[in-house]
Each structure stands twice: as structure tokens, then as C-alpha cells.
Amino acid sequence: MNYRTYLKGIINFLDGIILIGSIATLAAWIFLGQGLLYSETSPVLSPFTSLSLALMSGSRLALKHLQAFPTPLAMAALGLTLGGNLSSIMAQLIVPSLLLDSFPSLVPTSIMTSVGLILFCCYELLVILRDTPRQGFIIDDILLHLALLPGGISLLGHVLDNPVYISSKIDPRSGISILEMAFMASYAVVAALSNKNLFLWRFLRDGSANRVIFAILFVNQYIAPTIVGLVAAKSQERSIGIELFVMLAGVFATLSFLAMKAFGRNRSQL
């Protein structure tokens, strides 16, 4: 088995797991009244998030493996997911009680989850409409990286045991669960592995030094805020703390570094 075949196998396996897992969770909500790994006091994978992931992964798999599958249908599925999550954010920000009263027994998709899903949808739509361009403005890389941020914040909350980063104020079940983090991280991995035109891959191919630099920057996004959060936990209440801004600074540092490298590389090739 050569490298490309092995890589395609990993991509298809992860996409299949996301699709099957999200459909199974959605079916559990429909037939059992609660999702997989359900809890009354902690985040769970909501039916709306399950549907979003099923539409996203299903359309991506269909485009890859079904030649007769129409591209406009895939774009419609992504547009539906994007619009639905945008509406969910607006409802929770403007009239949260309306959302809860309309679906009292269901768990709404958290705002952070919706932000991540919207960014993933924007990325997928761009990739469908055109190949990732080789230019200084690395919008595809930026969208993928930012889509992971909500999950990273929630992971920070789990590590620090800070509910502010884990659950929504309107419903403790609304947030990014561990299962949801796994699905969204897998989705990002598949998106990255499927797109050989991302600037990240060109940057990493340029040498081992680049790989070390990126690894340090990427890991630092999670290690630094965790250390800061653990140190500051004794002196602050369970609320938004300095660790969040340390994480945001780490993300900005990584993206700005990649953007500057892409811009410099693009200028040198002119």
C-alpha cells in the first residue's frame, strides 16, 4: 500500500466515522429522546449539531465518491447548515427564551459550536467553488484554523474545570462535549489532509525547521493558556480569565506567522 492510498484510507475512515456517529446520535435523539453519552449537567452532542455534521461530512463524501452527485446539492447542504447555525446564534443572542420554549426537550447548539460549524462551511464552500489559491492571503488556512478555536476553548474549560468555557448559560447541556470535540477535530483533520493546496503543507515541506516552528506555535496555543489558567485558578473566580486571552494571542501569533510567510513567499515568486 503506497502513501496516497494509505492517506485516502485515513480520510475516508474519519469521514465515515463522523457521518455514522452523527447519524447515530441524531437517531438516538429521535427514537430515544436523548443523544449518545447524554448528561443533564454537562454538554452533549445536540440533535442540530448532529444534523449539521451529517450534512457536512455526507456532502463531502458524496462529492468524492459519487460521480453523479450534483455539486449544487452539496453547496445547498452546506448553505443550509451555515444558515441554520447562523440563525441559532441570533436566536440565542436576541431571544434565548424563545428557542428554549420552542424546543423544551431538545438541546440547542451552543454559540461556540455554531461558530465553528459556520467557519467549516465557509471553508468547504470556498474549496468547492475554486481550488485553494497560491497567494499571500491564505483564507482557507485561516478558516480551518479558526474553526478549531471554539473546541480549543472548550477543551481548556475541561482541563481547568471551568464551566464558563464548557457550557452555555441558558442550558448546561448546550456546549461542546468531548464527543463533539472529537468529531470536529476529525473533520478538520480530514479537511486539511484532503487539500494539498493549503499553504500549511507547502510551508511544512520547506524543511524540518518549519515543521518544528509550526509545532511549537500550534502546541503553545494550548499549553500556555493551560499553564496560565492553572496558576491563576487559585486567585480568581470561575469566570473568563487571562488564559482565554493567552489562547487568543497564541492563535493570532500562529496565523499571523503563517500569513507573513505566505506573503513573503508570494512576493519572492513574482
Residue 127's Cβ-side half-sphere holds a number of Cα atoms within 13 Å equal to 23
What is the radius of gyration, based on Cα positions, of the chain?
Answer: 19
pTM metric for this prediction = 0.91
Domain count along the chain: 1
Q: What is the DSSP letter of 163?
A: G
Alpha carbons within 13 A on the beta-carbon side of 223? 6
Burial (CB count <10 Å: 0-12, 13-18, 19+), residue 250: buried
CB 229 within 8 A of CB 241: yes
Tell me 43's DSSP state: -
Give residue 171's pLDDT.
Answer: 77
Cell of 187: 473533520
Q: Which domain holds residue 63?
A: 3-268
Cβ(107)–Cβ(113) below 8 Å: no
* Pair 193, 10: CB distance under 8 Å: yes
- Per residue of the chain (270 residues), what is the pLDDT tens digit? 577 788 888 888 999 999 999 999 999 998 888 888 888 888 888 899 999 999 999 999 999 888 888 999 999 999 999 999 999 899 888 877 776 677 667 788 888 999 999 999 999 999 999 887 777 678 999 999 999 999 999 999 888 888 888 887 777 888 888 889 999 999 999 999 999 889 999 889 888 999 999 999 999 999 999 998 888 766 556 678 889 999 999 999 999 999 888 888 776 665
Residue 150 CA to residue 47 CA, distance in Å, equals 18
Give the three cell numbers for residue 178. Answer: 468531548
